[in-house]
Structure 1
Amino acid sequence: MADDQNAAARVNYGEGLRLKETWSRCVTECGAHNFELPDYSLLDGMGAGKFVRSSKFSVGGYDWKIRFYPDGEKIAPAAPTSYASAYLIYLSETLETITGKLALTMLDKDGKVVASKEVLETYVFSPRSFGWGWFEFVEKHKLKPPPSDQLHEAAGFFTIRCVLKVLKLEDQCNERLIKIPPPELPGQLERALKDGKDADITLLVGGREFGAHRFMLAARSPAFHAQLLGPTGENKNTPRVIEVVDMEPAIFEMLLHFIYTDSLLPPCDGEEGYGAPKMQQLLVAADRYGLDRLKAMCEEKLCRSIDVKTFTSTLALANEHCCERPKNACDEFMSKPGRVSDVLSSDGFKRLIASCTPLPLEDKTAPKKKLKFSLIN
């Protein structure tokens, strides 16, 4: 095998030249056809060698029919006629040979199998060898209903089901399929953001200026659309400089990158990824500007980063911004043994308690005039 591979590797005529290559492949196609025989009693006694046939059907791009001989195919004068015969007939006039596998099954009115035959080996059909089937397909006595059922409407109803699998050669392709280049729009928009070319608005965030394009902000964010274009979308008197408050410049940079590229800004060199605090801030920003996809991406990363240190802040954030997935992830985290005591003793929980306001709640175990305090945020 190694010698064959080396030999193939040495065949490189015209190194550096683009060789014209062609491609083809074999594929299989499977199909089924149901040939109904409403009343066998009308077929019994037709005589050996006489048949009824199905309508034409196509499998693998070739045409076929089923032939059923109620009194058997007449192979020899002395051949027994106690069997009915069934065959699949190849009808196409192409000179090529077709490789396939065949199964014929006869079913009664209730769908029960009366006879079943299958070609276990592969059979080759051609104009000179156009049929395949069985002389002794089914014993005739199995097709005759008992006297008590002879007057029944469906007593002699049978179906011959043909299942055929054909190997065929696909049309030749003169060239390998053209390789479609990756989408260019996200990269082009990212360059437009970085270059600041044709930017028509400046966003001031924590003393840092970001150039952007009004149409992009309005198209991507409902909040920006309302701020820049107004409720009717016709306000063109928006200031060229807008201050964004209550947000860190680094978080707004991530938000702006997502607006232009629909992806997260890659971490700086040396960083493996974004930690929970940054994802929490970005989730708040995404919720503020109506960026549902970015919010969902932040939720997914927060769900994966829940631990004793981040549990309290993640749960508080999830409650505040109606994020069900982080809530469920927090519930699952706390369901593990020992987690409750670990969280209660964590610095995050202590900070939460310190920032809470006491609220008097009724103590149901004490007299109604006495109150106990519970801390809520």
Structure 2
Amino acid sequence: MADQNAAAGVNHSEGLPIPETSSRCVTECGAHNFEVTNSELLVGMGIGRFVSSSTFSVGGYDWSIRFYPAGEKDDPAGGYASAFLFYLSETKNVTENFALTMLDKDGEVVANSEFQETNIFSPEANHRGWLQFIEKLKLKSPPSDDQLGNGGCRFTIRCVLTVIKEPPADQCKEKLFEIPPPELPGQLERVLKDRKGADVTILVGGWEFSAHRFMLAARSPVFDAQLFGPLAEKDTRCGNTTIEVVDMKPAIFEMFLHFIYTDSLPPLCLCDSEEGYGTAEMQHLLVAADRYGLDRLKGMCEGKLCRSINLKTVTSTLALANQHFCERLKNACEEFLSESGRVSDVLSSDEFRRLIASCTPLVLEDKEVSAGEKKL
């Protein structure tokens, strides 16, 4: 019984499936034709001398064929030419299967010239082949038509190579089961839209929004203090409660409330820009996030504003960064202003004059700043 459970992948100690992984071993096959001419003259090269093919690649590794017309080394048989496959890459333990075949000028296989074996190559063991690949006499003497053909002056050594490729480690994947994506944000968004169990009514610019006090308090320290803090009125701690939010547009509060429930910004249909959230929306949303202590939302707005700075928005964005202590946004604005050709246009605007009057001094690292100030 124990063996049956193990085979089924059951964890006896916890009753849970045993995690499984899988990988796949693949092969890659390639062929290279090495043509040798004037074979009858090559026999005089001497033992250990060779002619080599060009380098070819199979399985992501480099190879070459070497042919020894007089033999690779002294052989007791003494009457054979040798042929070897050489491995030229640096990777160790490459497993392959290969065949070397001699073909005559018409592409016919020469008798007794096909060999096969499986090997493991490495830089240290970089060649395999056969000392007795073909008889030297067949290279010197004109054989019959079914051998080398036409005096044996030209032939081809064909290498067919199959490389067994190891699967990379990152291809090993768990097969236990796929975990579905998080559902909580979508479920909370439905709760917000359905208004089920809502116990707070929020008035914003004449609009009414329904929400849940536990969610507001959990997400915002300001709402927490307003609904459950020591200074909260008794009727806000139980039963239906009405809260009024001032100095905020209803559309901005709708985005703000969406983030409270889902931890994400709402769909782009709520913004004016087709390319993304508009600068005005992000500026107002940043103010709301700072006001109610939502640091993540504030950081998201700050990041989007950093990427949308231009000559039309830099003044108001810089003022906002100063007012709400957004150092990253402030630095991005100052970097934009310090680039050549932009400072004079901004410094001459009425918006920038008001900014200088209301904010702490700004350091703009550009020679145009001083020149622009003289014009004011």
TM-score normalised per structure 1: 0.48
Choose between structure 1 and 2: higher helix proportion: 2
